[in-house]
Structure 1
Amino acid sequence: MSSTGTVKWLYREFGVDSVYQTGPDTWFVILARTCRMFAFGATSLIIALFMSSLHYSDLKIGLFMTMTLVGDVALSLLAALVADRVGRRRILFLGGALMVLSGMVFVFFENYWILLLGAVVGVISATGGDFGPFRSVEESTISHLTTPSTRTDVLSWYVTTSTLGSAVGVEVAGRMVNFLKKIMGVRGTITDVYHAMFWVYVAMGIMTMIFACLMSRRCEAVEPVELDVDGSRQTESLLGATSTGETSSNQDGDKGRPSHCVGTPPKHNRCSPSSPEPQNWLHKLWNDSKFTKISSDSRPVVVKLWILLAIDSLADGMVSYALTNYYLARKFGLAESYLGDIMSISYLLMAISTIFAGSLARRLGLINTMVFTHLPSSIAVLLFPIPQSVGMSIILLFIRTGLNSMDQGPRAAFIAAVVKPEERTAVMGITATLRTLGSTIGPSLTGFLANTDMFWIAFIVAGALRIGYDLGLFFLFVDLKMHAHEQIDGLVQAGETASGGSEHAVNRGTATDELS
């Protein structure tokens, strides 16, 4: 094979062509998350050390992280509830604005409760993980912009580039702390250095807002095709506009009313003035949301998955990267610059490994890829507190982080493959909410253990929980059929095209399932 042929093969094998084919909107989504994860990586290195420099106890630090995640739960629920209705781009823009707000709070304030309020409302990552409300919106957007044949590759690169962002963020943070210590000298304290670091968070929030503004309307959700009472097809946007305009008229001259109301008996017409109004705006928001439309076919699968992910998230919350940094600093007395180097290499290994996730998924299947890559990472967490040398601890950390994220792209693709397209935002939103909720308890448990000099037990418990999650995934989902809904939609669309006399067959969803 020539060098050109090798490059082309690698280009296709590692899914770069899939990312290119999906167009600029996908690129902007990926870049926005990369900026966010750069900020999260930078803060994960210093957040616990910053709180410690303010002389808050380990118990208070753990409580701080827990309450931050509780705020993420509420925001995740709200974002998933309104994202498709309000607009995905607006939600992502709001995420960047909240990052700016949170960063400014941490630049200027030191009061525990003000910092906590800023972290809760401003979606600061107190753990280094992306447990906020905006990842589910991004994953739903990417699933909307891709096909079954390209989805896993694109989602894998979505994880890969964001992991690289974390790697660069944590490395920059370590170096910047060291640099700021030198230039501030005796004029500033270590707390002043940490304050200055949060300007990075502000800058990344601004970048996220810019990328959200660059996204096009293709990112927005579209309601599934419905039939009006006269048998005509209509496509309605989530904001209430039809695919051909805001209003339509019927033979009786009804004008200025949404097309789906025309010809509908007043008794059952939701747009009729005589129809009962919801009791309040929250009730209306819930009834109009996607949460109420998750089908009975999807529900058994996603409920099992949610239970497993809650268990895994509890484990991740107990031994988050921020707490792992804090553990290493306490156990071995490592400097911030050294910790930054270690975590940067860890994230780099993570990014390299996720490049192979799409290729593995095509050969092993989504579930096998998720389990067989995540299980060694879980074992490394279980064994992490055993070594008494820095070298062995770092090796186990590299194993943990190097394999930890290979399941993320396949997991998002798995969710997209087993639920209907119109359910994805809701299901991914609930998934993100439950994962965040599972993570909320972890930091407080670890803070309690650290306060009683039993920090190491957190890693034992977390490793065992993660192994249980891996085994549960394998035994519950390994034989599950993928893409059933997309195949049915594709067959229906092809049949309608053929009956209409079209010269070309439509094939939206009947691509060979290479992932199952």
Structure 2
Amino acid sequence: MANLLNRLPSLSWLYKISGLASLYNTGRDAWLIIICRTCRMFAFGAVSLIIALFFAELGFSDFRIGLFMSLTLLGDVVLGVLVTLMADGLGRRRVILAGGMLMAISGAVFYTFENFWILLIAATVGVVSAGGGDFGPFRAIEESMLSHITTLDTRAHVLSWYVTASSLGAAVGTEVAGRFFEVLSKREGWSTVGVYHATFLIYVIMGGLNVVLALSLSSKCEISDSEESPGESAQRLLDEDEEDIHSDQTSASMKPKSRFSRISSPTRSVMYKLWFLLTIDSLADGMVSQTLTNFFLARKFDLSKAALGDIMSTALVLATVSTVFAGPLAHQIGLLNTMVFTHLPSSAAVLLFPFPSGLVLTTMLLYVRMGLNNMDQAPRAAFIAAIVKPEERTAVMGITSALRTLSMTLGPSLTGGLADKGKFWIAFVLAGSLRIMYDMGLWAMFVNMRLHGNKDIGPEPGRPRNSGDEEEPEQVPL
């Protein structure tokens, strides 16, 4: 590989700028973690296509479908907080292993039962994604592991590929589910409900693969079993002045019982602002989740499952392609610019989505929305990882995930209530407006902030750095 890259300079440049070099150099664990989430998102994509339609076939009202999704998200919040705050103590690999087992069990329950409350319990405990997104605790733990085994320079690239691969997994899962439904429903002896039940076997298979992958991870992923990476060691030497060291010693002597209390005050002061904005964005996402968008399209245009799968899988492929460029773009224009300038057009597309009367224009708006929607994820995770200490990451990312999921819980119920009254379209207008508020707020609050080591969050393109930047890194103004 090295000889080939040396002979082809353009290929070498592409290899580095795409982030593949960073991913390769991070090692085997990064690949396993990424494949683990890709399998999980394959299952989520498959289920998001049919779960609302499955419930409608069982006779659940629109409001009850929205309520199911809200209660599932609420259960994910409780599970997420408990699991992520204990993950470092229990062992991150063990938690991911348990998650795979629970996925398989919940898939088996959905394959067998039709009772609302039994399905609700299975969806909550087994983290069945009623909304199509990764709302359980496992993403936060995986991001913490990836942040732990990467350096400041490679982190954004690796996290970008983490998002990219998982988006591709969701796209393939959605397409497979649509085709699977169409093929099986045409066979003799299969009822519509029976085919829906059979689709959940995908969850069982992907859960089993997660178990195998979790067993293959090394101890380098554990905070207690591995040393800091060279980049993190150097960064901490620069960041920890005498006051920080004294504070850490005092905290250690007090031995706080809560992992939240171990999150430093400077970290919290920044995260409070970000958490507030993320709750606004997440409420909007909950109102127009992938599952509810599928439901809206199927109802408005009376689409077959295969056609619906084609549309949604294409949208997810576009999301996959765009996330490839998130890491390089963040390195070129800054984390904040990447987050805002890619998310804002997506937000506008959500707001306009219900207005076209034809399928073509509606689909184009969907492609704009989903094609750009995921480009802010890797920069956001890299930003959070850069402002917290390694031992804080799992807790901070877990709390972030829990707060986002908690704010999402209201969304599906609101949309379900609106749909019951024939006002489904209003959900998209409200969600788009909230997302635009989030984008503007993010820019206003963080545009002048700089990361540890003079890594800009949102630099003006072409702005020169001071000559002493690399020698005397600034701290994030908190």
Q: TM-score range by the shorter chain?
A: 0.7 to 0.9
1:463 aligns with 2:465: no
Tell me what 2:452 maps to.
483
Tell me what 2:328 maps to.
359
Aligned AA (2:190): G
Secondary structure in structure 2 of the residue aligned to 1:405: helix
Distance in 1 of aligned mates of 2:35 and 2:413? 32
Higher helix share: 2
| Alignment counterpart, residue 211 of structure 1, candidates 213, 220, 240 | 213
Distance in 1 of aligned mates of 2:426 and 2:179? 31
Tell me what 1:123 maps to.
127
Distance in 2 of aligned mates of 1:67 and 1:453? 23
Tell me what 1:197 maps to.
199
Cα gap change, 1:43 to 1:366, in 2 (>3 Å): same
Distance in 1 of aligned mates of 2:111 and 2:428? 32
Matches within 5 A, 1:109-188: 109-183=113-187, 185=188, 187-188=189-190
1:371 aligns with 2:375: no
The structural deviation recorded for 1:2 is 10
Q: In 1, are the aligned partners of 2:453 and 2:473 still within 8 Å (CA)? A: no
Tell me what 2:459 maps to.
none
Tell me what 1:12 maps to.
16
Cα gap change, 1:344 to 1:141, in 2 (>3 Å): same
Distance in 1 of aligned mates of 2:226 and 2:259? 12
1:451 aligns with 2:420: yes
Distance in 1 of aligned mates of 2:206 and 2:258? 31
Secondary structure in structure 1 of the residue aligned to 2:357: coil
Distance in 1 of aligned mates of 2:286 and 2:302? 23
| Alignment counterpart, residue 361 of structure 2, candidates 380, 389, 392 | 392
Tell me what 1:248 maps to.
none
Distance in 1 of aligned mates of 2:420 and 2:97? 39
Cα gap change, 1:161 to 1:224, in 2 (>3 Å): closer
The structural deviation recorded for 1:339 is 0.4
TM-score, normalized by length of structure 2?
A: 0.87
Distance in 1 of aligned mates of 2:157 and 2:337? 16
Tell me what 2:373 maps to.
404
Deviations 1:240-267 (A, max 9, x none): xxxxxxxxxxxxxxxxxxxxxxxxxxxx
The structural deviation recorded for 1:510 is 8.6
Q: In 2, are the aligned partners of 1:290 and 1:425 still within 8 Å (CA)? A: no
1:21 aligns with 2:52: no
Distance in 1 of aligned mates of 2:398 and 2:60? 33
Deviations 1:130-181 (A, max 9, x none): 1111110000100000000000000000000000000000000000000111
The structural deviation recorded for 1:4 is 2.0
Q: In 2, are the aligned partners of 1:418 and 1:485 still within 8 Å (CA)? A: no
Distance in 2 of aligned mates of 1:104 and 1:289? 36
Cα gap change, 1:453 to 1:385, in 2 (>3 Å): same
1:380 aligns with 2:349: yes
Aligned AA (2:310): D
Distance in 1 of aligned mates of 2:7 and 2:442? 40
Give aligned pairs, total.
433
1:302 aligns with 2:271: yes
**Stretches of structure 1 lacking an aligned partner (at least 5 in a row):** 226-267, 271-283, 487-508
Cα gap change, 1:363 to 1:417, in 2 (>3 Å): same
Tell me what 1:344 maps to.
313
Greater displacement, 111-120 / 3-12: 3-12
Matches within 5 A, 1:16-55: 16-55=20-59
Distance in 2 of aligned mates of 1:320 and 1:66? 11
Secondary structure in structure 2 of the residue aligned to 1:298: helix
| Alignment counterpart, residue 93 of structure 1, candidates 97, 104, 126 | 97
Distance in 1 of aligned mates of 2:356 and 2:286? 22
TM-score, normalized by length of structure 1?
A: 0.81
The structural deviation recorded for 1:13 is 0.5
Distance in 2 of aligned mates of 1:477 and 1:103? 42
Deviations 1:490-509 (A, max 9, x none): xxxxxxxxxxxxxxxxxxx9
Cα gap change, 1:452 to 1:10, in 2 (>3 Å): same
Deviations 1:440-483 (A, max 9, x none): 10000000000000000000000000001111111111221212
Aligned AA (1:221): I
Distance in 1 of aligned mates of 2:472 and 2:308? 46
Q: In 1, are the aligned partners of 2:219 and 2:225 still within 8 Å (CA)? A: no
Q: In 2, are the aligned partners of 1:149 and 1:511 still within 8 Å (CA)? A: no
Larger Cα-atom Rg = 1
Distance in 2 of aligned mates of 1:2 and 1:206? 41
**Stretches of structure 2 lacking an aligned partner (at least 5 in a row):** 228-251, 456-469
The structural deviation recorded for 1:122 is 1.2
Deviations 1:402-436 (A, max 9, x none): 00000000000000111222211111010000000
Distance in 1 of aligned mates of 2:332 and 2:166? 24
Q: In 2, are the aligned partners of 1:377 and 1:401 still within 8 Å (CA)? A: yes
Cα gap change, 1:473 to 1:206, in 2 (>3 Å): same
Secondary structure in structure 2 of the residue aligned to 1:140: helix
Distance in 1 of aligned mates of 2:170 and 2:198? 19
1:72 aligns with 2:76: yes
Q: In 2, are the aligned partners of 1:82 and 1:289 still within 8 Å (CA)? A: no
Q: In 2, are the aligned partners of 1:30 and 1:162 still within 8 Å (CA)? A: yes
Distance in 2 of aligned mates of 1:291 and 1:483? 22
Distance in 1 of aligned mates of 2:268 and 2:213? 34
Tell me what 1:334 maps to.
303
1:431 aligns with 2:400: yes
The structural deviation recorded for 1:290 is 2.5
Tell me what 1:495 maps to.
none
Distance in 2 of aligned mates of 1:387 and 1:331? 11
The structural deviation recorded for 1:300 is 1.1
Q: In 2, are the aligned partners of 1:384 and 1:459 still within 8 Å (CA)? A: yes
Deviations 1:355-412 (A, max 9, x none): 0001110111001100000000000000001100000000000000000000000000
RMSD over aligned Cα atoms: 2.2
